[in-house]
Amino acid sequence: MAILSILEFPDERLRKKALPVAEVDAAIRQLVDDMLETMYAAPGIGLAATQVNVQKRVLVLDISDQKNAPYCFINPEILEESGREQSEEGCLSVPGIFEKVTRSNKITVRALNREGELFEMETEGLLAVCIQHEIDHLEGKLFVDHLSPLKRQMVRNKLKKGQRTRAGGHGQTGSRSSASL
Ligand code: GNR
Ligand code: NI
């Protein structure tokens, strides 16, 4: 098990599209376990492989209070969705920002589990929100992309201020500085 580092906005690698997993083998199970450990340590209620710089269609979730109900979705697909509902979201890759986002409130999703078995799940509420948030990550999309242009500009300004503070007074102008290894 290992704790992986989480990419933060505006890192361009968060915009990469994840590729389907061809086979759920030992390496994928290791990735799932490492992602769960990283998510619990953060702490967060979900994590997509894109956030730990792995371009594979893998996401993990645990919305339980006791943090004892891990879910893993490999090659997830939304089969059906209905209703619209607004709820407040945050993201480990956009630290300190919480904004209301409108999404489907009921979804049916199909995926492979950690054993490589196909399953279907119908869900609503926070779990449905989270699954949609994580699938967005796999497409290179962030929750702030759902906001109005005005709200998005406010988020950008707030993040810039935060980065300046974290960098000790030096504003980050080139977005590549955080993207290069
Ligand atoms: O920890 C997280 N909390 C959260 C709250 C509301 C809606 C979505 C989320 S997901 C987030 C973890 C994360 O960034 N996953 O990609
Ligand atoms: Ni996120």
Atom of ligand 1 minimally distant from the CA of 93: 14
Band the pLDDT of 168: cuts 50, 70, 90: low
Looking at residue 52, its pLDDT comes to 98
For residues 32 and 58, is the Cβ–Cβ distance under 8 A? yes
Looking at residue 179, its pLDDT comes to 34
Closest CA to 46 of 66, 72, 76, 14: 72
Q: What share of the chain is helix, strand, coil (3-state, %, to 5)?
A: 35, 25, 40
Range 119-128 average pLDDT? 98
**pLDDT tens digits, one per residue of 8-27:** 998 999 999 999 999 999 99
Q: Is 134 a catalytic residue?
A: yes
Looking at residue 167, its pLDDT comes to 61
pLDDT over 70, % of the chain: 91
Query: What mean pLDDT value characterizes the chain?
Result: 92
Range 74-86 average pLDDT? 98
Looking at residue 161, its pLDDT comes to 86
Ligand 1 lined by 56 (C-beta under 6 Å): no
Query: Would you state the torsion angle of the CA atoms of residues 94, 10, 21, 124, taken in this order, to the nearest 10 degrees?
Result: 30
Q: Please, how many CA atoms are within 13 Å of residue 178, restricted to the half-sphere of its CB?
A: 19
Looking at residue 162, its pLDDT comes to 81
Band the pLDDT of 164: cuts 50, 70, 90: confident
Looking at residue 89, its pLDDT comes to 98
The helix/strand/coil state of 15 is: helix
Ligand 1 lined by 45 (C-beta under 6 Å): yes
pTM: 0.91
Return d(Cα 130, Cα 105) in angstroms, integer: 11
Closest CA to 37 of 70, 66, 86, 73: 70
> Amino acid letter at 165?
T
Looking at residue 138, its pLDDT comes to 99
| Ligand closest in space to the Cα of 103 | 1
Ligand 1 lined by 46 (C-beta under 6 Å): yes
- Greater confidence (33 vs 177) lies with 33
Return d(Cα 60, Cα 124) in angstroms, integer: 17
Range 130-142 average pLDDT? 98
